[in-house]
Amino acid sequence: MMDKYLIKKSLNNNVLIAANEDGNEVVLIGRGIGFGKKTGDSIVREQVEKLFVLKDPVEQKQYKELMYNLDDTTLKVIISAVEIIRKRVSAPLNEHIHVALTDHLAFAVSRMKKGIGIRNPFLLETKGLYPDEYKIATEVTEMINKSLPVTLPEGEIGFIALHIHSALLNKNVEELALHSNLIVRLVKIIEEQLEVNIDKSSIDYMRLIRHLRYTIERVIRGEEVAEPEKITQLLKTEYPVCYNLSWKLIKVMQQTLKQHVYQAEAVYLTLHLQRIQTKMK
């Protein structure tokens, strides 16, 4: 016997309110899922597999509120965007992406129709930190621009990539934006202290920001890395400028993240800084 959802209400062609076999309300989301459906009809689970089910009551409420402010065409395109993301990633997505990305894209499309663009200050960093998500976000943006009478700018690719990464890691977008902002601040300090201008498209820059990202993630997890004491002494002696700078960066991280940073992080950071200083001089 197949599991069924009983339709309680069709919000539009793409969203249905239904009850599962336990009588709990769910929101079924999918392109064309509501076409020709009426209250009392049923959908078997097999038909819903390629679609999305919102189970969390808070997410459901927020998503329903978004529905009433969106025209069917825009909603259909946004649902297609989430379908592309789901097909391209190998891990399950946090269901919050439906609310968060729908809200973001609806606002972005509305802004662009009014000719109001928003600059993305973390675009290069996002591209370097999350290349896979950035590639999917590029595909999503191209699809939206072909389907709707708007042209979303390149900065939107970065914002969408953050939403994808957020849904994969179960982190909120605000936290990821905070980390990106921190990385931008740290790079500015490095450039000022070493008196260099780092090429943002270079492999050295990509290596640096990825190292900073992994450092931040270790700090948040409270993960300790082993400290090679002999190397520590050598770096202090041989590269005092880079070693002192690494500690300045660590203090900024501690203040921003409000968490302890292990001393060994200074060693690995010094090595990255020394590579940059050597290449730039």
Is residue 141 packed enough to be buried (19+ CB in 10 Å), middle (13-18) or exposed (0-12)?
buried
What residues are paired with 25 via a beta bridge? 19
* Residue 218: pLDDT over 50: yes
Chain centroid to Cα 180, Å, comes to 11
Domain boundaries, the chain: 1-56, 69-171, 186-280
CB 95 within 8 A of CB 56: yes
What DSSP designation does 226 have? -
Q: Which fold is adopted by the domain 186-280? A: Methane Monooxygenase Hydroxylase; Chain G, domain 1 (1.20.58)
Q: Which of 45-54, 112-121, 143-152, 210-219 has the lowest mean pLDDT?
A: 45-54
Q: Which of 46-55, 120-129, 160-169 has the lowest mean pLDDT?
A: 46-55
Residues 258-266: contacts with CB within 8 Å, 24+ apart?
Answer: 259/219, 259/220, 259/222, 260/219, 260/222, 261/215, 261/219, 262/224, 262/225, 262/227, 263/227, 263/232, 264/224, 264/225, 264/226, 264/227, 264/228, 264/232, 265/215, 265/218, 265/219, 265/225, 266/232
In this prediction, what percent of the chain has a pLDDT beyond 70? 96
Percent of all residues in the chain with a pLDDT value above 90, rounded to a whole number:
44
Across the range 69-97, mean pLDDT stands at: 91
Give the E-state strand segments of 118-269 in sequence order: none
Residue range 69-171 forms a domain whose CATH class is mainly alpha
Q: How far, rounded to the nearest angstrom, does the alpha carbon of residue 186 sit from its chain's CA centroid?
A: 20
Structure tokens at 267: 């060693």
pLDDT of residue 233: 82
Whether residue 1 is predicted with pLDDT greater than 70 in this model: the reply is no
Decide: residue 68, CB within 10 A, 0-12 exposed, 13-18 middle, 19+ buried. exposed
Question: What CATH number labels 1-56?
Answer: 2.30.24.10
Q: What are the pLDDT digits (tens) for 248-263?
A: 999 999 999 999 988 8
Beta bridge partners of 9: 17
Give tens-digit pLDDT for 238-249: 899 999 999 999
Flag whether the pTM goes above 0.75. yes
pLDDT digit string, tens, across residues 62-81: 999 888 889 989 999 999 99
